[in-house]
């Protein structure tokens, strides 16, 4: 009886101490205890650059490790394992958005331009548990500057998406970039008075600004600008809406150049006017931020004698006089068109009741007459017929 009890005791001890039997996964692969997940992946490494130019194409590798017990099969069947762009959702956003076009796959693949959520990179060999597969293909950067993402995830076709989300940020750096800063600018001007402005332009892009050639870089009057720009330090094109200030040398990335020019505006009443400039690569694109400054333009002063104009409208001549007193010696009469260009200018050499401007050669339209004397500046709007 004692022998029977001893035998039973030894049998029980052996049963308790026996190791757990491994489970079998599909394909006969043993699963450790505790079991692995069926589907799992790990990003091992990648060669996606941290920054790219708009539209730039780069060859990249993304290395993924199989961390599940189900083998990743690469056969051409509909149920193959592949690296998918984003997570396969057309209306994707946030952490699953893929912004880059994939192409030229090493082992085959597909992605349609404009559908960066629906790409696939095929596998070149199977990958069982803990094995690594390297996906290799080209990525093309989007055209808009900013932070964009290469996003991907493993997919078992027609079965499920699984594993880690691969989300790699890439900064899209514009080759053309500019920072504009006003160095000197008047806070106020009288109507018709000229002020001098200096702007420092710094190249914040990755491309040198060429000052000549077929597509030179220049500073231009930006939309909303209300001042006439002229008399540029390195030459240019005067105007309000289409002014251009030329450069006198190439400006490399990180370099700066100071550009000076005159501004003038006309008004009947004191008001605030906008001065706006921006860099432009001719026939290519405007770029960088718009530099804007608001300047007070002072209209007619009640202490300045009022100017009288006749006839209205003018046909061949304009008669200029004051309501009280004479036009003083040294007074300047300047006639400008709507673009701010001087078309007539005379100086009063002797005090006189009236001065005459010849308008016979002018095109019909609206002009601005500025009378400047020791007492101030007065601007009048006249019509030439």
Q: Are 151 and 98 in contact (CB under 8 A)?
A: yes
Walking along the chain (385 residues) 10 residues at a time, the average pLDDT comes out as 49 44 46 77 96 91 97 85 80 70 95 84 96 97 89 94 93 89 95 94 93 95 95 96 96 97 85 95 91 88 66 88 77 82 86 86 87 75 86
C-alpha separations of 89 from 83, 122, 140 in Å: 14, 19, 20
**Total H helices, total E strands in the chain:** 1, 29
Q: Cα dihedral sign for 159, 163, 165, 168?
A: negative
Please tell me the distance from the alpha carbon of residue 111 to that of residue 96, in angstroms, as a whole number.
16
Query: What does the longest C-alpha to C-alpha distance in the chain come to?
Result: 149
What integer pLDDT is reported at residue 212 of this predicted model? 94
Structural domains of the chain in order of their starting residue, each with its CATH number = 41-172 (2.60.40.10), 178-298 (2.60.40.10), 307-384 (2.60.40.1220)
pTM greater than 0.85: no
What integer pLDDT is reported at residue 95 of this predicted model? 59
> Which residues, in sequence order, are bridge partners of residue 182?
199
Tokens, residue 63: 């290395």
């Amino acid at each position: 009886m004692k022998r029977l009890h001893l035998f039973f005791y030894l049998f029980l001890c052996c049963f308790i101490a026996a190791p757990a039997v491994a489970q079998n996964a599909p394909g006969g692969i043993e699963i450790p205890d505790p079991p692995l997940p069926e589907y799992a992946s790990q990003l091992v490494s990648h060669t996606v650059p941290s920054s790219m130019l708009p539209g730039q194409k780069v060859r990249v590798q993304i290395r993924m490790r199989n961390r599940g017990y189900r083998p990743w099969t690469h056969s051409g069947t509909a149920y193959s394992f592949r690296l998918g762009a984003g997570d396969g959702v057309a209306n994707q956003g946030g952490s699953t958005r893929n912004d880059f076009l994939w192409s030229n796959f090493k082992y085959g693949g597909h992605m349609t331009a404009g559908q960066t959520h629906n790409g696939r990179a095929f596998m070149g060999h199977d990958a069982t548990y803990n094995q690594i597969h390297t996906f290799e293909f080209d990525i093309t950067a989007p055209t808009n500057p900013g932070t964009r993402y290469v996003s991907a995830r493993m997919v078992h076709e027609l079965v499920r998406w699984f594993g880690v989300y691969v989300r790699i940020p890439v900064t899209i750096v514009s080759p053309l970039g500019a920072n504009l800063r006003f160095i000197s600018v008047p806070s106020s001007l009288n109507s018709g008075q000229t002020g001098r402005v200096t702007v420092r332009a710094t190249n914040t892009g990755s491309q040198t600004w060429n000052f000549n050639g077929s597509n030179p870089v220049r500073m231009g009057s930006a939309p909303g600008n209300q001042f006439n720009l002229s008399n540029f330090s390195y030459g240019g094109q005067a105007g309000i809406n289409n002014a251009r200030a030329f450069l006198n040398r190439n400006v490399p990335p990180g370099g700066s150049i100071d550009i000076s020019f005159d501004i003038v505006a006309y008004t009947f009443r004191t008001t605030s006017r906008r001065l706006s400039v921006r860099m432009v690569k001719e026939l290519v694109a405007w770029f960088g931020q718009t530099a804007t400054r608001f300047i007070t333009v002072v209209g007619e002063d009640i202490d300045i004698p009022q100017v009288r104009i006749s006839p209205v409208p003018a046909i061949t001549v304009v008669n200029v006089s004051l309501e009280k007193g004479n036009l003083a010696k040294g007074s300047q009469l300047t006639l400008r068109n709507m673009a701010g260009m001087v078309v007539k200018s005379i100086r009063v050499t002797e005090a006189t009741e009236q001065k005459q401007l010849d308008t016979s050669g002018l095109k019909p339209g609206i002009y601005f007459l500025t009378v400047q004397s020791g007492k101030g500046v007065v601007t009048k709007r006249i019509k030439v017929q």
